Structure 1
Amino acid sequence: MKTGEMLNKAKKYRGEAEELLKTFKQNFYDPSKVWDELMYCLCTPQTKAVNALKACEEVKKLNRGRVEEIASTLRRCGVRFHNNKARYIAEAKNHFPQLYEKIRVTSNLFELREFLVKNVKGMGYKEASHFLRNIGFENVAIIDRHIFRYMLENRLISPNFGKLTARKYLTAESRLIRHAKRLGLTPALLDLLVWAVSTGRVAK
């Protein structure tokens, strides 16, 4: 979808998207919401958002949250790779106080993302960017299949760009950030609008 068409179709979603971004900013100050978003973003790879959200709500009901219990809950809710993701969630939970402190005090957004990618199992650049967006940081790009297709269709990347390695992710991100700036949007708002136009709803 070309940019002009996307922006025209996105008009009806923009208000809702902007309100959602305000909610994300509020999440930053509540450790429990930061944890919810971290767990959610660990669940989302190759899993429908609605299934990941349901799984997170069910995991929060567990008394102890042992890996086996988490894995069973994720599987029941339709989360793919439930065993691996259960281990990621359990490990992140054990270190969450230190993680939250790092998030709270680190002023450089891109340094913080590098820290998350290196120290939180299950987080690549896309997942870390998704998490940071959901706790109020608007200047990183979540390059999922919808955004990747949008970039291809608008010649921000070439058809032979290839698989998103870490290096290529950063290259694509820098191009998307410049593109968003030209449109007068943050990368976070552009992402929500492209997603909404592609799927018919605003979603985190």
Structure 2
Amino acid sequence: MKSEIKEELNPESVKSEPLSVQDLHELYDPIKDQIEERLAEFQRIWETASDEDLFREMVFCLLTPQSKARICWRAVERLERKCLIASGEPCQVQEELVGVRFNQRKAEYVCLARSMFSHRSLRTTLAGFPSHAAAREWLVANVLGLGYKEASHFLRNIGLGEDLAILDRHILKNLALLGVIDKVPESPTKRRYIEIERQMTAFSSQAGIPMGQLDLLLWYKEAGEIFK
């Protein structure tokens, strides 16, 4: 199963000045410690979190397509306060998704995922894969609402996916500005997603900025903060 919510990408939207590796490092060097600490926090989630904690991060990533991360996290916090992540009906979940686009469909995704992991441990399931990429393939195939971007985001946020690319529109735009890709794809296929991920991995090595840090750096460039 794949996400039915497509990222709205406009190939003509990349109008900014090209970026160089030097430009990146001028942005990266002052905030490197903050980025490393954020990634360490994600790693601690995997080391210490319960299944419920892990599922909360999955809910967040199910909500994020075409919606602002801060708004989605506030919605998750409301759901948690009202005990709706564990037991809410789709209509109850939807009421708390204020400001989240496609909230009816996403509420259904949350409840379907909860039903799936009520019969199996999310932690045990993820720990059973030989690689982060293999875990992502399983998530995309089995959790409705998680495409490659959302599954990569979820795994990174629980400390399992620093080597995976989270190719949202902001990252793709900046990869084009850096010359890593020729243009921003409207809706990347699986093959194109993996190809861009490989190109981003090669660039991160060339630039001397690890993949997980590069993602947060480019997100910071667009949003002005280091979040999730």
Q: TM-score range by the shorter chain?
A: over 0.9
Higher relative contact order by CA 8 Å / sep ≥ 6: 1 or 2? Answer: 2
1:93 aligns with 2:114: yes
Q: How does 1:59-74 map to 2 (within 5 A)?
A: 59-63=79-83, 64-74=87-97
- Structure 2 Cα separation of the partners of residues 163 and 37 of structure 1: 24
2:100 matched residue in structure 1 = 79
- Structure 2 Cα separation of the partners of residues 143 and 128 of structure 1: 11
2:10 matched residue in structure 1 = none
1:167 partner amino acid: R
Q: How does 1:118-197 map to 2 (within 5 A)?
A: 118-136=141-159, 137-159=161-183, 161-197=185-221
Q: Deviations over 1:121-146 (max 9, x none)?
A: 10000000000111112100011112
1:37 matched residue in structure 2 = 57
CA distance 1:35–1:161, change in 2 (3 Å)? closer
Total equivalences in the alignment: 202
Q: TM-score, normalised by structure 1?
A: 0.93
1:5 matched residue in structure 2 = 23
3-state SS of paired residue (1:180): helix
1:21 aligns with 2:39: yes
Structure with greater proportional helix content: 1
- CA displacement at 1:21 relative to structure 2: 0.3
1:103 partner amino acid: L
- Structure 1 Cα separation of the partners of residues 217 and 113 of structure 2: 30
- CA displacement at 1:109 relative to structure 2: 1.3
1:199 aligns with 2:223: yes
- Structure 1 Cα separation of the partners of residues 89 and 74 of structure 2: 18
- CA displacement at 1:14 relative to structure 2: 1.4
CA distance 1:151–1:160, change in 2 (3 Å)? closer
Unaligned runs of 5+ in 2: 1-18
Q: Deviations over 1:112-168 (max 9, x none)?
A: 100000001100000000001111121000111121111111221113755312211
- CA displacement at 1:46 relative to structure 2: 0.5
Q: Answer yes or no: is the 8 Å Cα contact 1:10–1:197 preserved in 2.
A: no
Identical aligned residues as a percent: 33
Tell me how large the CA RMSD over aligned residues is.
1.5
**Aligned with residue 52 of structure 1, among 69, 72, 78:** 72
